[in-house]
Amino acid sequence: MSEASLHPVITRANAISAIDFRSDTVTSPTASMLAAMSTSPLGDDVYNEDETTINLERYVADLLGHEAGLFVASGTAGNQIALRVHLTQPPHSVLCHFRSHINQYEAGGVATLSQAMVQPVRPSSTPYLTLEDVQKEVVLGSDIHSAPTRVIALENTYGGTVAPLSEVRRISEFARSHGIKMHCDGARLWHAAIVAGGVGSLKEYGKEFDSVTVCFSKGIGAPVGSVMVGSKEFIDRARWVRKSIGGGMRQTGVIAGAARAALDEVFPDKLAKTHGVAKDIESHLHSLGLKTVLPVDTNMVFIDLEAAGLDNSWLVEAAKEVGLRLGYGGRIVVHHQISSGAVEKLKGVLSTVVKRHNEGAYKDQVQTNGHGYGSLKRT
């Protein structure tokens, strides 16, 4: 199957994806993904009989240096199931970055599913948490007034930035010395794995954690799906928890096949190209006198709206004028289907907004910045 022979609906979806900078979840299936969906062997995954899903679980577990894997519908499902398995008896808490997905974007799942508190921590000197940040906030000992830290959850990448393997090892050694479990929200870990001096090999990095969740619909470009990995005992328990929250699915090979095809097609080469595009956009921002809130390590660019005196809505509206889509908070996300033409249009949008601002075109408008990341002090 070629790209040209795709169904018209998919062809239109690909065209829309090419101009959409809101997220790397807006991609549409490629020919190889659609072919996998129609040809992958199928079985009932609740009975553990879907060969395509089983092979994907084993493949990802091996990549990350763990015994077993479990296919789930989303990264949120993987994170929450992992935490539920680790957290066996309240009182307990999960220590994580204060802006992490687990803390801010999973609908309070830690509280509702695991009866646990979240211990949000602000990094002091880098975008990611360091051992010193963890040691300052971790709850140890037997003080009955507190909920002891039972899990440290790290997100990599966070806001497109990479937490290096060396720092993660320091935190992991500390956690294990205190009997604390380590979980990685690795929704975009694929990106971190191809950054020089980043996380090392996936296997090296994965072994620093008791559980890892990786996503196929963020960056990799599959329609749906994630895999969580850990020990066989951990995954056996996770399968039980998955079933209890309605996560058991039947002929999952349809989506697991697409996920494997996406991984083979996009990782690492196409993914690496998105980093170069993001750097190109960053350079254009700098040429306009704009700054970024976070370092551009991978595929995300966060414009410092506050420092520039800009409002996100101005960017969104200017993008619409030329047929582009931008999201919240000055965030620009590059994915493997973004076209070179869209990148050039985006540069034009940025130049136009800065020019309009300098000429006073927005002087009577209320500046809200709409859920922006803001300056570093609020990162």
Domain CATH number, residue 186:
3.40.640.10
Same domain assignment for residues 163 and 234: yes
258 with 274, same domain?
A: no
Do the domain assignments include residue 21?
no
Predicted confidence (pLDDT) per residue in 215-245, tens digit: 999 999 999 999 999 999 999 999 999 999 9
Q: How many domains does the chain have?
A: 2
Query: Do 188 and 226 reside in the same domain of the chain?
Result: yes
Looking at the fold, whether 75 and 217 belong to one and the same domain comes out as yes
Domain contains 17: no
* Whole-structure pTM value: 0.93
**336-364 per-position pLDDT tens digit:** 999 999 999 999 999 999 999 999 999 87
Q: Name, in order, each residue with C-beta under 8 angstroms of 80's C-beta and a sequence gap of 6 or more.
A: 106, 109, 110, 113, 114, 245
Same domain as 142, residue 35: yes
Whether 129 and 220 map to the same domain: the answer is: yes
Of the residues 265, 293, 318, the one at which a domain ends: 265
Cα separation, 311 vs 19, in Å, equals: 21
Q: Residue 103: which of 137, 80, 127 has the closest Cα? A: 80
- Given a contact cutoff of 8 angstroms between Cβ atoms, the answer to whether 100 and 155 are in contact is yes
pLDDT in tens, 5-43: 666 666 777 788 999 999 999 999 999 999 999 999 999
CA angle 116, 170, 298 (to 5 degrees): 85
- Specify if 22 maps to a domain: no
Structural domain boundaries enclosing 350: 269-357+368-378
Residue 7 lies in a domain: no
Q: Is 139 a domain residue?
A: yes
Does the residue 38 lie in any domain? Answer: yes
Going by C-alpha positions, the residue among 360, 231, 367, 379 that lies closest to residue 292 is: 379
> Domain check: are 208 and 238 in the same one?
yes
